[in-house]
Structure 1
């Protein structure tokens, strides 16, 4: 098992930020990335730094998109750390869970079984919860369906997170 430190002493690594940005991709105009999702702009941002929701048709530059993503992540990171009092994670685990929070939102994190398992010291169970049905569906469609072209990236991203999480347990 790798060395863990208290989440209060962690922040998203630069490598993880780049990976997250690449995973999200850039859209200069607000769009709905997957049917049933809310409008996103830039690098998957659903909110502006002032808290207003992104609206269809809005535009953004790549630089402003990076600034918006960083602002969003900073706010979510604080809430994430506060939700895991006394929990220790590796840098890799922390980065992976922040990536999850960016995709699904801090509200879903607060209610998630991953959070409960981590607070209970159940690290492997937290990893396994990343693959639960509610995190592989979009608008009621199971993204793990073989041959799916609608939202396959949701499922491959979940599988990648799970693998990285399990690898962190060794």
Structure 2
């Protein structure tokens, strides 16, 4: 069992939000100083981009608070946009995914359409297609989507 899978399953006690927090923090990493992400967007903490300016800094506590709020919004979007019942692991995978790509992209996705139509395996397989940023395939996204897909398929 991979270390990330062990951490995610260990967080299952805290439910979907706990599992998604482990996923996001692992794959995003934390930067207390704003930086430019691979597609040229100023980013800070665990991949936060809203209102970020280069040179900006945050404390670890501020980053944790920002992550909790933004991940909560991502999960609320998943709950609003998915009509199918989901086990906690699938919800966590989708919360991580929406945190990364945004609710608008998820809303118009084939992934969401398949999930709501009852095609869980087909929906989870769609995650593997979301590995490009700025037209380039990113290794970090390949690994993240593989982890999200594995969780998405739990109970399928």
How many angstroms does 1:16 deviate by?
Answer: 3.0
Give the Cα separation in 2 of the matches to 1:98 and 1:155.
Answer: 17
Alignment of 1:32-111 (within 5 A): 32-34=36-38, 36-47=39-50, 53-85=51-83, 87-111=84-108
SS at match of 1:59: coil
Is 1:25–2:20 an aligned residue pair?
no
1:159 pairs, out of 133, 146, 152, with: 146
How many angstroms does 1:89 deviate by?
Answer: 0.4
CA displacement, residues 58-114 of structure 1 (integer Å, 9 cap, x when unaligned): 1111110010111111222222211123x1001100001101111111111111111
Give the Cα separation in 1 of the matches to 2:70 and 2:145.
Answer: 21
1:137 pairs, out of 127, 132, 136, with: 132
How many angstroms does 1:24 deviate by?
Answer: 1.2
Give the Cα separation in 1 of the matches to 2:67 and 2:47.
Answer: 8
1:126 pairs, out of 98, 123, 127, with: 123
Structure 2 unaligned regions, length at least 5: 1-14
RMSD (Å) for aligned C-alpha atoms: 1.7
Query: Which residue number in structure 2 is paired with residue 5 of structure 1?
Result: none
How many angstroms does 1:164 deviate by?
Answer: 2.8
The 1:37–1:124 alpha-carbon spacing in structure 2 relative to 1, beyond 3 Å, is farther
The aligned length equals 142
More helix by share: 2
TM-score, length basis structure 1: 0.76
Structure 1 residue ranges, 4+ long, deviating more than 6 angstroms after superposition: none
CA displacement, residues 121-141 of structure 1 (integer Å, 9 cap, x when unaligned): 110110111112xx1112111
Contact kept in structure 2, 1:37 and 1:138, CA below 8 Å: no
Structure 1 unaligned regions, length at least 5: 1-10, 48-52, 144-150
TM-score, length basis structure 2: 0.82
